[in-house]
Structure 1
C-alpha cells in the first residue's frame, strides 16, 4: 500500500508547525529570495514572495536575479482599525514597502514590494500595533469578513465582535510566528502538539468565512466556505443562517473545477456560532481531499457528498443539529457612498477608492488626506469587501471638521463618479502576481472609460452595473458574481462572463472565450442598447439578460467551461 503523502501535505507535516527554514532564508543576504518550500510556508504567515514581472527581461539581460519582494497581508477580522493603528500602518509603508497601502476584497490591508531585509521590521511594527498577519494566507481559516452597513450600528458592533471571536478561535497557534518574525526563542518540541485544532497538516486548502447583515451583501457572503447571514428580530441579532461550500476559484481547461455558491444548511443561535464554525472547519479538516489540491476546497467536499451528508456530519461533530433556516432578503452587494447617519446618531462617510489603492499622486493626495483625518478622528476606519473605506463613528460635533478635510483634499465620496466605477473591482494582477495572465488593476480604468461611453450614448450614464476584472480565473475579485466580468487568458485577452444578479446570489456564466477588448465592447454595446430600450422598472442588467433570453437562467458547473458564443 502506497502511503506516501502528496508534496504539499508532506511539506506541512515536515515543517515543524510552519517553521521550516524560513529564519535561515531571511538571514541569507546572497539572494533576495527564499526557498520554494519556505515560500509555500510563509503563506501561512500572511506573505507571498513575488517578483516584478515588468523587470524580468531587463534583469535577465543584466545577469541579475529577478527583483524579488514580498506581499504582506494582515489579519483584521471585520476590517476595523483605530485611527492610531491607521497612522502606524501608514508609517510602515514608507519604512518597509512601496509607499502604498491596498485594501483587499477580504477587508484587510496588503503591503507590496517589501524587500526581504525589511520583512522582520515590518512584521514587528505590525505586532506593535496589536495586529498580525497569521492566517491571512495558507491552508487555514482566512480573514473573517463582515458587512459594514453603517445604518445598523449596534448590530454591526456585535457582528464585528463575533467576527473577531471566530478569527481568534480559528487562528493557528504555533510558536513559529513569534520565533520567525518577533525574535522569540524557539520552543519547538517534537513531542508537543502545538496545534490542538489544526494538527500538523492544517487544512487541505484555504478556508473563508463571511458574515452578511441583510439586506446588505457587500461581502458576497455566499462566495465563502461558511456563509453566515445575520437574522435580526425586533431589532436584535438572534442568530445566523448558515450556508456552506462557497468558493470562487477555478482552473482553465479543468472541468472538475468551478466556482460555487454556498448551500443553505440551517439556523443557529448567536451564542453558539464560534463552536459551529469550528465544527464545520473540522469536517473539512477531516474529510477534505488531501490527495488532489485542485479538488481540496470545501466546495468540492460539499458538492461530492451533498448537504444531507454535511448535516449528518455537523450533528455528529457539533452534538446537535441546526434548526431550519429563517427568512431573509439580500438586495445589493455594493457599497453606499457619501454621508450616512446611523441609528445611534453617529455619522459615517464612505469613500470610493479606486481598486483599494491608497497612494499620493499628482492628482490626489489620498494617503496624506487619510493621515490627516486619522490624526483627529475619534471613531474608527472600516474597510469594505469592495475595497472602499468608511470613516466610521464620527460624532455630530466632529462632522464639520472631517467635511473640511474631505473638501480640502477633494476626496471621492462617489458624487462625481460615473455609476459604473462605484461598483467595479479588480485584482492586483500584473506586475507582481505570479498567477496573472493579463492586466487587471492597471487595465480597469481604461476599460471602464470605454464602457462608460457606451452607457452614456445609450442614455444610461447613472446606471449601476457590477463589473469585475481579474488577471486569471482564481477569483480574487469575485469575478463570477459580476454582471459583467472579465477573467484574463493572455495579455490583452479575456473570457467574458455575464449575468450575475445585483445581490450576490446568482453567478454569471461564460459568454465568450479568449477574446480581445474590441470584441468585448462590440458584444456589450448592442446588449446595453437593448437594455436601455426594453428594461423594466428597477431591473438590473444581469436580470435583464436572462429575462430576454440572451442568457439562460440555469447555471451549472459545466457552463463555466462552455461559452455561449463561438
Structure 2
C-alpha cells in the first residue's frame, strides 16, 4: 500500500541523517556497494583466503560470515573459513533438502550441520574457494542463503508443528512463507555472485527485477540493522515473538485466524560497556486482519528504514527508535506509511509454548515425531551418530521436516507402522529419544560461541551439555527433575540464543565468567533480571542449586521456577540463597 509513497526520489536515503549525526562506516559501505555487490566480485577471485572489511559487511546479506577457528590461532596468524546460513521460513523443508545440507557439511564444511535458533541451517568451516559452490548447491536444493544475515529481514520464524486438524497452523506457516518472499532483497547481486554459470556468464536461476538492481522496500542502503519477524499463537509462542522486531500473534475464532496482534520493538543484543543498550520485549501496537498483515509489516520496515539510527550501530535496532519516540508516535508514523488508521490490539495474552517434541497426532490420521537435538548440532561423534541416523531416515523414509525454534527437528506425515522403524534407526545410532531426555536438557539452548564466533567471550555450546549433566543430578536429589524451565546460554551479551527472557539465562561476561539471569518464563513475554554477575563457570551450578533449593522450600502451589524468581526478585533471592548456602 505504501510502495509508491515511500519510493519517491530520496526515499530510503534522503533521511539517512535524520538523527543529526555522522553516518556509521557500514552505512557508507552499503551506499557504495551498488546494491550489495562491490567489491565482492574482485575479492572472490583474488587468490587469498579472506575478504576485506567492506566485503565482510556486505557478505552478511548474502548469508555468510567470515570466521576463524580461535583454537588454531598462532603467531603465523589466522586460518579463515566461513559460516554459511540457510534461511528456512517457518523451518519447513524436505528430507532431500536436509540431505543436501548434510552432504555439504561433509564435502566443504567441518562435517557437522547446525539447526539455528531461528529455524535455519548453518554450515561451518567452509573455505573461501568453496564459497560459491556451497551457495550454489544450496540454491539448487531450492533453498537460499540470501537475507539469512545482514541489515535486512532475517529468517521468518513460525510455530512449526504440523497440526493438520487445526487449520490455523497452515495459515500461519503460509503467512511466514509469503512474508519471507515479500521482504527478500531484490538486488541481482546475489544471482550474479553465486548463481552465474562460469563458462557462459549466463544466470542459471532467474532473479532480480527485470535485470535492474532496485530495492523498492529497502532502498540502496537497506536497514540500519538486522530485523526479525516471528509468528505464533497465544497458546504456542514457540517462535518467541516477544524477542522479535515484529511479532505477529494470531487471533483465532472458530478454527480460523481472524487477524493478528502486531507486537513491535523486541530485541536482545546488548553491549555491556554501553549503558545506552538494553534488551527489550516487544509491545502490542495494533490488530490487523490477515489481508493487512503484509502491508502493515512492510510499513513498519520502512519506518525503521527511514528513521532508525544509522550513526551508531549499537543503538540501531528498532527497539531504540520505539524507546526514543514512544509507542504512540511510532504507531502514528506506521499509520502514515500504511495509509490508514489501525485498530487497537485485542486484549489477549500469550499463555503457552509447544516445543513439538515426542510422538503426536497431526489430526489428519497421520503422526509427527519431534526429536530433541541438543543445541542443534547434527554430528557423528563416538557412539552418538545423529548425522548417520538422519541420513538413513531421510533416505529410506523421506518424511517432510520441520526445524524448531529450540534447534530440534520434527518428522512429519508418519504412520503408526513408521514408529518402530524410526525409533529403531535412532537407537541403533546411539541417539536418545525425546522421551529419554530430561526436562532440563530438553528446554536448554546454546549459541555456537567458541571457537568459531568472533564475538564470543566465553564457551557456550561446548560446555552447556556438561553443565546440564551436573544440573540433572542435583535436580534429581531435590526431587525437582520434572520441573519445566528454559535454560539458555550465550558466549557473549548479543543474546543469539535468547537468554534474556528465559527462566535461567547464562551470558558470557569475561573469560570463564558468566552473568546469571533469573525470572523470565517459558512463555517468553517477560525479561529476566541479573541475579549474579561475573560468576566463574565452576560456581554456576552451586549457585543455581541454592536457588532451586529455596524454590522447593518457598514456592507457592503450582508456581513455576521462573515465576517464583520473578516474585522474589533479585534482592530477596540473594539474601535467602546466601543464607541457604551458609
Are residue 14 (structure 1) and residue 27 (structure 2) matched?
A: no
Equivalent residue pairs, number: 546
Corresponding position: 1:312 with 2:332: yes
Q: 1:211 to 1:448 in 2, by over 3 A?
A: same
Residue 329 of structure 1: how far off its partner (Å): 4.1
Residue 111 of structure 2 is aligned to residue 99 of structure 1: yes
Of 557, 560, 563 in structure 2, the residue corresponding to residue 543 of structure 1 is 563
- C-alpha distance in structure 1 between counterparts of 2:400 and 2:188, whole Å: 31
Determine if contact 2:518/2:566 at 8 Å carries over to the other structure: no
Residue 385 of structure 2 corresponds to 365
| In 1, Cα distance between equivalents of 2:383 and 2:551 | 35
C-alpha distance in 1, partners of 2:106/2:566?
Answer: 48
In the alignment, the residues of structure 2 paired with residue 7 and residue 349 of structure 1 have an alpha-carbon distance, to the nearest angstrom, of 47
Are positions 1:173 and 2:186 aligned together?
A: yes
Decide which moves more: 222-231 or 533-542: 533-542
- TM-aligned CA distance change 1:240 to 1:526, over 3 Å: same
Q: Structure 2: which 5+ residue stretches go unaligned?
A: 1-16, 574-582
1:139 aligns with 2:151: yes
Aligned to 1:117: 129
The answer to whether residue 408 in structure 2 is matched with residue 391 in structure 1 is no
Q: Which residue of 2 aligns with 1:148?
A: 160
Partner of 1:354: 374
Output the CA distance in 1 between the equivalents of 2:62 and 2:213: 19
Q: What CA deviation, in whole Å up to 9, does each residue of 1:241-271 have, x standing for no partner? A: 1010100110012111000011101111112
Indicate which of 226, 232, 241 corresponds to 1:221. Answer: 241
Structure 1 residue runs of 5 or longer lacking an equivalent are 554-566
Q: Distance in 2 between matches of 1:181 and 1:409?
A: 36
Alpha-carbon separation, structure 1, partners of 2:541 and 2:431: 31
Judging changes above 3 Å, is the alpha-carbon distance between structure 1 residues 396 and 457 closer, same or farther for their aligned structure 2 residues?
Answer: closer
Shift of 1:478: 0.3
After alignment, is 454-463 or 208-217 more displaced?
454-463
Could you tell me whether the CA contact under 8 Å between 1:150 and 1:340 is conserved in 2? no
Q: Give TM-score scaled by structure 1 length.
A: 0.92
| Greater CA drift, 197-206 or 338-347 | 338-347
SS in 2 for 1:210: strand
> Structure 2: how far apart are the matches of 1:358 and 1:380?
17
Aligned-partner SS, 1:69: strand
Q: Name the SS of the counterpart of 1:267 in structure 2.
A: strand
* 1:88 and 2:126 matched: no
- How has the CA–CA distance of structure 1 residues 521 and 93 changed in structure 2, closer, same or farther, with 3 Å as cutoff? closer
> How large is the Cα RMSD of the aligned pairs?
2.2
Matches within 5 A, 1:519-530: 519-530=539-550
Hey, what does 2:4 align to over in structure 1? none
Asked if structure 2 preserves the Cα contact closer than 8 Å seen for 1:276 and 1:318, the reply is yes
Moved more, 395-404 or 43-52: 395-404
Which residue, out of 38, 47, 51, partners 1:34?
51
Deviation by residue 1:495-529 (Cα, 9 ceiling, x = unmatched): 11111022101110112111213443332222211
Cα distance in structure 2, aligned partners of 1:336 and 1:198: 35
With over 3 angstroms needed to count, the CA separation of the structure-2 counterparts of 1:376 and 1:163, relative to structure 1, is same
User: What is residue 447 of structure 2 aligned with on the other side?
Assistant: 427
Is 1:277 the counterpart of 2:297 in the alignment? yes
Q: Does 1:290 align with 2:310?
A: yes
Matched residue SS, 2:104 = helix
Task: Map 1:103-502 onto structure 2 (within 5 A).
Answer: 103-151=115-163, 153-183=166-196, 185=201, 194-333=214-353, 335-396=355-416, 398-502=418-522
Question: Alpha-carbon deviation of 1:282?
Answer: 0.6
Q: Equivalents in 1 of 2:409, 2:212: separation in Å?
A: 43
Which moved further from structure 2: 36-45 or 316-325?
Answer: 316-325
Post-superposition CA distance 1:208-229 (Å, at most 9, x none): 0000123011121110000000
CA contact (8 A) 1:245 1:298 kept: yes
